[in-house]
Structure 1
Amino acid sequence: MAEAVLMDELVEEILLRLPPDDPASLVRAATVCRRWCRIVSAPGFRRGFAERHRAAPKLGFFANLSDDGDQVARFVPATPFRPRHADRLHRRALDARHGRVLLATTTWPTNLEVWDPVTDELRELPRPAPPYPLFSWNAAVLCAAHGKCDHLDCRRGPFLVVLLDNLGPEDIHVYVYSSEVGTWSGPTYGPPSPRYGGEMVPPALVGNALYFLIVRSTAF
């Protein structure tokens, strides 16, 4: 008697119901056979999975720590998910948004990297645009189609990195890196800052506006 085989549509409906807070379950499903791997890897499946579960699960958070004197950006899990490289040595996590993490190297000269914890893909960006060492600065990463995208399946799509360089009271420069072009823009001059003090804390994205924290310093 021939063995019954589920149609692809039924297999997909079953796999779409796997818990979203455990991406490893999809990886395990993809190793069952080539057919399941093809179903799980299809762009339509990823979109359908995101539409079914809507709210993306919080897989964990990042802690910037000192490990025996070495700086490390450590992924602290909040679910069964574990990235392949949970510790990023000589790195500092600056921002995380839309499935991407923005890292800065803690060794000189400073470089920026965009990391996908789920696929472990790490993309090193060109050197930031300012022709001098960064001193008081911060950066953010976001989907390049923000405002038009529902962010359900844009993790592999184009992204932007916004770099704010706070040189002093009269010198706030903003640079934008586009993954589609692969280069940084020239400087856009922002409003004067009251004093030095760009704080390296995650910026807030409200609507289509990014907000960076700049602390007023006090002279004694």
Structure 2
Amino acid sequence: MGTALVTGASAGLGEEFAWQLATAKHDVVLVARDEARLERLAGELRAYAGVRAEVLPADLSVRADVERVAERLRQEEQPVGLLVNNAGYTTHQRFVTGDIEAEETMLDVLVRAVMVLSRAAAEPMVARGRGAILNVSSVAALTAGGTYAAAKAWVRTFTEGLAVELDGTGVTATALSPGLTRTEFHERAGFRRVGPDVAWLDADRVVAQALADVRRGVVISTPSVRYAVVSALLQVTPRTAVRALQARSGL
């Protein structure tokens, strides 16, 4: 047993991570902006799983809030053995005509916070000789899907580089690369329903595979055979074709 810190824990994959970790008897630190939802979730986890659940409200686009989370990761008392950098969203707008401040805020959450928190977690983990960092990327990282895809591509490459640096330390780094998953993500972003039902994954299965891959030290975790195939195809498809497919999709 140990303590896991999950960002974006109030909904979607983050909430599912919190539940699966708690039912596996890990204490959890829950990070998100919505304190009320975090408190409700923490109460449920304490009651049903019998674990310690800390609530740490934070807006990861705000540097002072990121630093408060980083301080918790550096804490020697009740140390964090697993960091799940899950918090994220998309602006769902065109870059050239959209709100540039909204793009900068998203970049802070998807990129800067992941970098700062990964560093804050890695240093004490290496000193202890054990630990794991799980950064949520996306199959979108392999597409030409604008600033969100670009940010997720950064997460993927950053995590691979981190895994190389951590090799032999007892600490691992894993990038989770899910496809379309049934959460609040698309609804909150204002997306219409995209893709056939067969393209959608259930959050519980995505999280279960991610945690299994973390335990095995897998660097790139791609839940489901269908998205493993899609990812492999995207990596060998000429980028001109990838861009053409993106343009046709209208996303």
TM-score w.r.t. structure 2 length? 0.27
Task: Name the one with the larger strand percent.
Answer: 1
Higher RCO (CA < 8 A, seq sep 6+)? 2
